[in-house]
Amino acid sequence: MGKHDAKQPKLHFEQKRSTRLGELEQGPQAAEGRDLTAEDQGEDLRTLMLEMRSSLRNIDTKLDNLTSQLDSVKAQVSTHETRFYRTPISLKRMGLRETDECWRCGSASASFLHIAWSCPRLKGYWSQVFVSVNQIVGRSDVPSPLLGLLGYVRDTPPTERRLHALLLLFAKRRVAIHLGRQRVPAVRDWLADVTYGHTQLTTFWELMPAAARPRDIWDPFVCWAREHQSRESEKDTLSE
């Protein structure tokens, strides 16, 4: 009996609460003909406050979800812009940018050729890359998008052609990494990328059987890199 009596107040409160919630949902007409005591009014206020707090929590949760979705969309746009070379022209057509100006120089109608090659702020980078590549492979090619962007190398032996194409591929990759940024890629970053690629490929080839290893195409680059490092060290010494 004692346990049964202890449950009675709780059951009575839950019944009254469910009744009042039903009346609140149905409107003020449901409470007509019944006098509301101070206790009932206080309970109504507490119920309303609980409902308001629950609604506010739901709103906060929805706002957090919307913010997370917006951040995800922005990240996807940024990734696609880099991965698929989204140009200012295409981004404006998609409604993701207000203008089609180049983010580096401000030129209007910035196409893929502009952002990857002909932008005035990229000319210095490509010129230095071609000077270095010509020194490595022993050529005198004039900078052109056919070589720099497409890697269209002709009139060279297959081994040198592979190295030539790889060097230009790393140069184009460095431009792609800087898409959407005002900062211009630097030749030292390109050189670091090539050095890393050489290290990784060499490590992979060393794991292969000797008979199956491809001919080392990196010898011209290794020799040039040593001379380049020596020249840079001499410059640093003279500047000090």
pLDDT tens digit sequence for 83-138? 456 788 888 888 888 888 998 899 888 888 999 999 999 999 999 999 999 999 99
Tell me what the mean pLDDT of segment 154-178 comes to: 86
**Sequence-ordered list of residues with C-beta below 8 angstroms from that of 146, at least 6 positions apart, any chain:** 152
In the predicted structure, residue 31 carries a pLDDT above the cut 80: no
* pLDDT mean over 21-34: 52
On the question of pLDDT at 35 being above 70, the answer is no
pLDDT in tens, 167-178: 999 999 999 888
Average pLDDT over residues 3-16: 50
Contact 138, 220 (CB under 8 A): yes
* pLDDT reported for residue 160: 81
157, 163, 172, 185 from 189: Cα distances, Å = 28, 18, 12, 7
Q: Compute the distance between CA of residue 139 and CA of residue 220 in angstroms, rounded to an integer.
A: 12
Question: Between the ranges 49-53, 214-218, 235-239, where is the mean pLDDT highest?
Answer: 49-53
pLDDT at 82: 44
225 vs 40, residue with greater confidence: 225
What is the per-residue pLDDT for 121? 93
Q: What is the pLDDT of residues 173-196, one digit of tens each?
A: 999 888 888 889 999 999 999 999
Length of the chain: 240
